[in-house]
Structure 1
């Protein structure tokens, strides 16, 4: 009954977040579009040698790609197509951008979500143990170990992992995700990049600090002390504010960093994901692909923020009724 009364304030929060998302998408897309067109380089080098090609041929290709129009006209045309669900075609391959994003986007989502799970599996237990302070030496040792892991550069960790587990002991195959013949080999291949990004994204120490601070605050509350005195489980009373809210907040905050780290990991492991596609598109000045990746990344980031808002509204109904968010 309590949760059925929350749909109105939650709907209000969701609508507000969607409105903010639309404004952010417009702002980000306009900024990236302008940077691409003012940056040095030209996508025409994909098709022709500009120095030796006939000027008439160059002008014809520009007209075909729509590059002969002003930047404002090009942006409005791209935006109009986007609203209709058309991301355009890649300059390099000629294929629809949306189909290319779907093909590689799932690989990047697997990498990002899997690495988030690995990060939480390491950070949450350490934060819980250190907040209890029952074994200070164990807590200190685990925290120090986590801080050392967080300091390791992800590309360095990736190359070390490839050398040890792929070349030295041959435990993991170094293949493209779609090239493995069996599903078992595919999943084994997925595992190493996920673990490397989960450890080397630099978020473990920050999540531990944030969760430990929140848990120590919650465990010092009077209602927790009263529950403990009555013999009740302190975790049942402290789970929402001490674990659920901090974890959700950190996940939403770390999604952009995970996507950024995925670009590096995909290059190191030859992972056929969106990071490698973005790298190749930036080299080719493939404007439609870069813009499609920009929109995809912005949507994923804001979905994380939206999930954080919804969880916080359920955990803290009073704040949601006032229109607050985490």
Structure 2
């Protein structure tokens, strides 16, 4: 089988898995929302005076009294045609809301993702190289604190220190109050991105740092590493030649697998800093019973997480030949 055929087989297999997973998520999410006390009609007519006839017409439009199987089939049909409905909060198509909010969140998540990956990898290398020293112990304590502390608690501490007490950064929002996004300068935009991105990045450092440390220690105890050491290699040159190159791929893969934690952390961070992203929109949709927007965000979040897992699989299957062979034997 040629490499081209192997790639097509791999992508086809992952595509089938993704379609099955997405359908399952859509159905389960819809059933959970339908069984909840959320009523889209009440949300839509909030702060409005309507007659019973108008309420009945809206219930018929939303299909409130239809069987759940009919509701699911109608919604799946709309999704296939690219129609996610209209947001009850923003009164515009859900797809437009998600495009705007997800772009803002994507900038935040990718910035923090890159920072956490680089910083976590460097800390892990230093901790592994300085095993059992005070440097290693300090890095481990730092990582354990980050792993055990709630996300919103760290975000609140950072907000109080750097925004309220020191006044170095604004307390929230994506643009200054009363300003249009197109009128905001790059510095004003970055100034409001720094704290949320910093908070979200330090939360992702612990996992990658501890994992990299353990993998480097494992490599340092391997036969080929000890042989290179016996030949006279030592110090950072030994780590760079025989350590970093062998732990980099697993670390990158783990970083892509952390997309789900990244998205979950973004929801809380955006809420604390009132950052206008997809996380804040999801919380608003849940609290204000915006069913179409809530379900649309569920779909896009599932796609986002699966893309991270897919990239991790691609790296393992087509960058490291040994793992690629193992996958093919398993299939």
- Secondary structure at the residue paired with 1:112? helix
Residues 135 and 220 of structure 1, relative CA distance in 2, 3 Å threshold: closer
- Secondary structure at the residue paired with 2:258? helix
Cα deviation, 1:251-291, whole Å, max 9, x if unaligned, reads: 23321122111111111111001111111111232221111
Cα deviation, 1:228-257, whole Å, max 9, x if unaligned, reads: 5275755344444312223312x2332112
Answering whether residue 106 of structure 2 is matched by residue 109 of structure 1, we say yes
Aligned positions, number? 319
- Secondary structure at the residue paired with 1:323? helix
Cα deviation, 1:287-318, whole Å, max 9, x if unaligned, reads: 21111101110011010111001111133213
Residues 310 and 134 of structure 1, relative CA distance in 2, 3 Å threshold: same
Report the equivalent of 1:198: 201
Query: How much has 1:115 moved relative to structure 2?
Result: 2.0
Report the equivalent of 2:125: 128
Query: How much has 1:216 moved relative to structure 2?
Result: 1.9
TM-score (norm 1): 0.88
Report the equivalent of 1:91: 88
Aligned residue among 138, 150, 155 for 1:153: 150
Cα deviation, 1:33-77, whole Å, max 9, x if unaligned, reads: 001011013122223369x85332211011223334322122112
- Secondary structure at the residue paired with 1:177? coil
Alignment of 1:283-322 (within 5 A): 283-322=287-326
Query: How much has 1:165 moved relative to structure 2?
Result: 1.5
Residues 63 and 298 of structure 1, relative CA distance in 2, 3 Å threshold: same
Measured in 2, the distance between the counterparts of 1:53 and 1:97 equals 24
Measured in 1, the distance between the counterparts of 2:141 and 2:103 equals 34
Cα deviation, 1:105-158, whole Å, max 9, x if unaligned, reads: 011112222222232233212211121236712211222123223333222222
Report the equivalent of 2:135: 138
Contact residue 123 and residue 207 of structure 1 kept, 8 A: yes
Report the equivalent of 1:218: 219
Residues 205 and 169 of structure 1, relative CA distance in 2, 3 Å threshold: closer
Structure 1, unmatched stretches of 5+, are: none
Taking only aligned residues, the RMSD between alpha carbons, in angstroms, comes to 2.6
Measured in 2, the distance between the counterparts of 1:7 and 1:230 equals 43
- Secondary structure at the residue paired with 1:141? helix
Residues 135 and 46 of structure 1, relative CA distance in 2, 3 Å threshold: closer
Measured in 2, the distance between the counterparts of 1:155 and 1:134 equals 32
Structure 2, unmatched stretches of 5+, are: none
Residues 63 and 178 of structure 1, relative CA distance in 2, 3 Å threshold: farther
Residues 37 and 224 of structure 1, relative CA distance in 2, 3 Å threshold: same
- For structure 1, which segment, 169-178 or 305-314, has the greater mean C-alpha deviation from structure 2 after superposition? 169-178
Measured in 1, the distance between the counterparts of 2:7 and 2:141 equals 40
Measured in 2, the distance between the counterparts of 1:188 and 1:150 equals 27
Report the equivalent of 2:257: 253
Answering whether residue 243 of structure 2 is matched by residue 242 of structure 1, we say no
Cα deviation, 1:152-190, whole Å, max 9, x if unaligned, reads: 322222222222222222211234214463210110110
Query: How much has 1:12 moved relative to structure 2?
Result: 2.3
Report the equivalent of 1:265: 269
Runs of 4+ in structure 1 off by over 4 angstroms are 230-234
Contact residue 143 and residue 210 of structure 2 kept, 8 A: no
